[in-house]
Chains A and B, each alone.
Chain A
């Protein structure tokens, strides 16, 4: 005869505890903490570079998550912003304990907004709570318009969705109505920002969102 042990516990219990501690700490200090999630090559690092250049009103810090290399953290450091690279050695997403360790090497006292650029992937990063205030989804025009419906967890949880590389709309097939319709069903009312890195289009709206969120956070 077998017996059943009832557990009823979240799968991520241990890491969720670390995430809670990070959230408490950032909340106490009034720092905005954003988890940037998108495919490889969707323009996440470019977005952060533009944000740092165009929003000198904020003091930033960046944690970069990648399977390998420190290239992204180097791109951020070149702009004079404190950055830490986490290499996951094959892991396809960041977890709270990795972020917690990286936070120790950042001068958080002098930071208004912390960005964590998650490993390029639309699936796993959405599953794992890293103690952030919000997730922001980045998806690019060449990836196609079916991304929200194919990756509903991320797109339903994101506090804002940035559609990048919109300057390519005349050259690649992209059904804008499908994209907008699916997104509206998954996450009604979520801000959808059209971004164009070469011209900086969309950056004003993005920086206005950051300003609003930071104000909300600081009450």
Chain B
């Protein structure tokens, strides 16, 4: 279950961030972007997140995952394709072995959705209103 390892790494970044932004206990949602190559099973990841956040300031928040497909392109013939079923780093048109990976390796914390508080600044460029 490597999802738990990933969740632990996420929390090492997120928990200090919560105190930095002063949003401890207010986080409703955490949004991650996960590439297909990371082989994450969303349900397992959400379960691991629930267990790992139980005694933290993120308790009760929900993990939202966007799975990003493996997108590849060929520098020789210009072909572009989605390469994840089965995973293959070979150009299907010309057989080129040295292909370019555009997406599918992501492991990123995209955003956090937090309860709006009165004193929050509307001028903060990192803050957008409304959920997604």
Contact = CB atoms under 8 A, between A and B. Distances in A.
Q: Interface range on chain B: under 10, 10 to 19, 20 to 34, or 35 or more?
A: 35 or more
A91 B5 CA distance: 8
A94 B127 CA distance: 35
Contacts of B115: 2
A92 B2 contact: yes
Contacts of B28: 2
Interface residues of A, number: 33
A187 B12 CA distance: 32
A152 interface: yes
A215 interface: no
A91 B29 CA distance: 27
Interface in B72-124: 86-90, 97-98, 107-116, 120
A189 interface: yes
Interface in A128-170: 128, 149, 152-153, 156
Contact of B112 (A5, A124, A153): A5
18 contacts: A2-B113, A2-B131, A3-B120, A3-B129, A4-B128, A4-B132, A6-B110, A6-B127, A11-B107, A12-B9, A149-B86, A149-B87, A153-B38, A156-B37, A185-B86, A185-B88, A187-B89, A189-B97
Interface of B: 2, 5-6, 9-10, 12-13, 17, 21, 23, 28-29, 32, 37-39, 86-90, 97-98, 107-116, 120, 126-132
Given A1-B129, A123-B2, A186-B88, 20 more contacts: A2-B28, A2-B29, A2-B113, A2-B130, A2-B131, A4-B111, A4-B127, A7-B109, A7-B110, A7-B111, A8-B109, A9-B13, A10-B109, A11-B6, A15-B9, A15-B12, A127-B5, A149-B87, A152-B37, A188-B98
